[in-house]
């Protein structure tokens, strides 16, 4: 059984390729003609086009700026949470009595005191370091006036373990603790209140009648928990000085335990509670707080709030873009009504329905692209202009930029499709009457 094979002669191959190149050239010319025609149409109806472009521009502008701001806030807050040094950290704090029986038992204990540190802070193979802390409110006086502050008694390891960098001068040292020195490290916020823009290092301040020499200033930063707020709005003094001058009962607010590995959290917690029970003669009036879990809850709460704000802001920007899409629909419908004769003429000389459809859709895309370009440029300029006003800066988010452009172009196609279909289905005879 024989089969018939069909071959294209070599002489006919070249004309096929030429026709294909001509077809591509015709399509490119059509696209260029549509784009330039769309621009001419926009220019010939300036006010109508300006109103539509303004809505599209505002929607894209809002999306670009809001995504940049939200991205900057998220990055800064995430960095702040990471800088809280809560990973692999547990805290021993006094336990509150919940029943009358516990109140009676806890009354037989002196509570969490400075004298407990010898047992609590004994070396442990899985612990990086210990940071006891005592805090109370007091009044500080300087030549310019007074201020109600937090006085925090800490050890020399506090700034390292709890990630409190020194901005000026130095921190509390082991020598300060041994000598019970009356020196103070001032928080950044308090330093600004008491001394304005001048350097406070080497100057004196008075707390409860005792003069303290300022030896350093904490670096400024975001305040994400109560201890960070107290440090920024107070002073750090040697723990031994605090016990001598501020609290004769030697009560501690907490003892922070920094672990070498987060995997050891349970075993170290049990060991610390056992040490506290031994120090308090079997009375369990101290409990452990897992700061890792606290950090996870706080960060999740922040994420939920940020998501809520993002939904609200993006809804507003989306509404503006949606109104801009309605503007595109109205412009294209008016253009269809004004250009019926042109459509009929093009069809009568050979243009098919697909070409007319593509022509109108391209005109809608040109309109959206111009609005998106102006909105992108305006949003980028504003972010750059306001960047130095934000502590974390403002960088244009490329994902927000792509989303703004994508939404603008999709809306242009969606709202331009109906006028394009009407134009494509228009009869040449009806159009040219």
pLDDT digits (tens, 9 = 90+) for 350-359: 777 887 887 7
Confidence (pTM):
0.59
Which of 265, 270, 272 lies closest to 295, judged by CA? 265
pLDDT at 23: 65
Distance CA 392, CA 73 (A): 7
Contact in structure between 333 and 426 (CB atoms under 8 Å):
no
Q: How far is CA 250 from CA 73, 231, 244, 379, 415, in A?
A: 41, 20, 8, 57, 74
Residue whose entry in the numeric block shows the structure tokens 């304005």: 196
Distance CA 250, CA 134 (A): 9
Contact in structure between 239 and 274 (CB atoms under 8 Å):
no
Distance CA 171, CA 188 (A): 13
pLDDT at 6: 47
Q: At 131, phi and psi to the nearest 5?
A: -140, 90
pLDDT at 5: 47
Q: How far is CA 167 from the centre of its chain?
A: 25
Residue 237's beta-bridge partner residues?
Answer: 153
Torsion-angle region of residue 111: left (phi > 0), alpha (psi -120 to 50) or beta? left
pLDDT at 409: 85
Reported as a single tens digit per residue, the pLDDT across 81-135 is 655 556 678 888 888 877 888 778 877 788 899 999 999 999 999 999 999 999 9
Q: How far is CA 190 from CA 148, 164, 231, 235, in A?
A: 10, 15, 9, 8
Which of 170, 168, 169, 138 lies closest to 153, judged by CA? 138
Retrieve residue 385's tokens. Answer: 């202009």
Torsion of CA 238, 243, 245, 248, to 10 degrees: 170
Q: pLDDT (tens digit, 0 to 9) for every residue of the chain, 433 residues total?
A: 444 444 445 445 455 455 555 566 666 776 676 667 666 766 666 776 777 777 778 878 888 888 777 777 777 666 666 555 566 788 888 888 778 887 788 777 888 999 999 999 999 999 999 999 999 999 999 887 888 999 999 999 998 888 888 999 999 999 999 999 999 999 999 999 888 878 899 999 999 999 999 999 999 876 667 788 899 999 999 999 999 999 989 999 999 888 888 788 888 889 998 999 888 888 888 888 766 666 666 667 777 777 887 788 778 777 877 877 887 787 778 777 877 887 788 778 777 788 788 778 887 888 788 888 888 888 888 888 877 766 656 677 777 778 778 888 888 888 888 888 888 888 877 766 6
Q: What percent of the chain has pLDDT over 70?
A: 82
């Amino acid at each position: 059984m024989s089969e018939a094979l069909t071959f294209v002669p070599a002489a006919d191959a070249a004309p096929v390729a030429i026709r294909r190149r001509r077809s591509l050239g015709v399509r490119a010319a059509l696209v260029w003609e549509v784009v330039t025609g769309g621009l001419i149409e926009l220019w010939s109806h300036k006010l109508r086009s300006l109103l539509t472009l303004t809505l599209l521009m505002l929607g894209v502008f809002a999306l670009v700026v809001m995504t940049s701001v939200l991205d900057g806030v998220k990055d800064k807050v995430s960095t702040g949470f990471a800088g809280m040094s809560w990973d692999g950290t547990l805290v021993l704090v006094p336990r509150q009595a919940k029943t009358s029986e516990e109140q009676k038992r806890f009354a037989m204990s002196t509570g969490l005191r400075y004298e407990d540190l010898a047992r609590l802070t004994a070396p442990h193979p899985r612990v990086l370091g210990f940071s006891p802390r005592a805090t109370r409110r007091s009044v500080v006086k300087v030549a310019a006036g007074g201020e109600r502050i937090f006085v925090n008694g800490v050890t020399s390891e506090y700034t390292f373990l709890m990630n409190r960098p020194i901005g000026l001068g130095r921190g509390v040292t082991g020598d300060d603790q041994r000598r019970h020195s009356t020196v103070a490290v001032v928080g950044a916020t308090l330093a600004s209140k008491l001394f304005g823009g001048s350097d406070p290092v080497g100057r004196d301040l008075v707390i409860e009648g005792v003069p303290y020499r300022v030896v350093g200033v904490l670096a400024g930063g975001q305040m994400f928990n109560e201890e960070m707020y107290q440090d920024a709005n107070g002073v750090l003094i040697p723990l031994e000085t605090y016990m001598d001058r501020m609290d004769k009962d030697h009560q501690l607010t907490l003892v922070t335990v920094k672990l070498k590995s987060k995997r050891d959290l349970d075993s170290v917690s049990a060991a610390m509670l056992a040490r506290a029970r031994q120090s308090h003669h079997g009375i369990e009036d101290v409990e452990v707080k897992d700061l890792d879990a606290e950090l996870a809850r706080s960060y999740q709460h922040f994420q939920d709030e940020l998501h809520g704000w993002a939904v609200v802001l993006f809804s507003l920007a989306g509404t503006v873009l949606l109104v801009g899409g309605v503007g595109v629909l109205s412009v294209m419908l008016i253009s269809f009504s004004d250009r019926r004769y042109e459509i009929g003429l093009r069809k009568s000389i050979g243009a098919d329905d697909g070409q007319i459809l593509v022509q109108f859709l391209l005109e809608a895309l040109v309109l959206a692209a111009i609005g998106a370009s102006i909105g992108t440029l305006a949003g980028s300029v504003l972010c750059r202009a306001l960047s130095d006003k934000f502590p974390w800066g403002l960088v244009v988010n490329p994902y927000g930029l792509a989303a703004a452009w994508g939404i603008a172009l999709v809306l242009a196609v969606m709202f331009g499709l109906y006028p394009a279909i009407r134009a494509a289905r228009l009869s040449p005879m009806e159009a040219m009457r």
